[in-house]
Amino acid sequence: MTQVSQEVTGIALSTTQIRELDTSTLVRELRQLLKLTQEQFAAQVGGTVVTVNRWENQRSKPSAMALRHIEALLNELTTSPIEIHRVGARSLLTQYFSHCSCSDSNN
């Protein structure tokens, strides 16, 4: 393997690790925002407590379907009567789902 391909491989590995960390952080931050246990959060997103624990501890990443559930939950929270939920959800949507079109006009 050449030096260039080793560097590229190193960069790709770093990017993968960052994505896992971001997913882990997203799951934990959303769960904490809602003040839910891992078991309660798992029920919200259609998973198991073991799966949520693995997501938070970077042992696995949420599937595309689980991420859609998480995004849908965040979208629901943007209209919550609880201000901290609205603000937190908008922040997480903007940070982790770049196609978010949420606005702070109802804040």
pLDDT tens sequence across 57-107: 999 999 989 999 999 999 999 999 999 999 999 999 998 887 555 554 444
pLDDT at 3 over 60: no
More confident residue, 8 or 44: 44
- Which run of H or of E encompasses 15? helix 3-33
pLDDT of residue 25: 94
Rounded to whole angstroms, how far apart are CA atoms 90 and 74? 7
pLDDT of residue 6: 35
pLDDT of residue 78: 97
pLDDT of residue 26: 96
DSSP summary character for residue 87: H
Distances (CA, A) of 52 to 13, 23, 35, 37: 23, 11, 14, 10
Q: What count of other Cβ atoms lies within 10 Å of the Cβ of residue 41?
A: 23
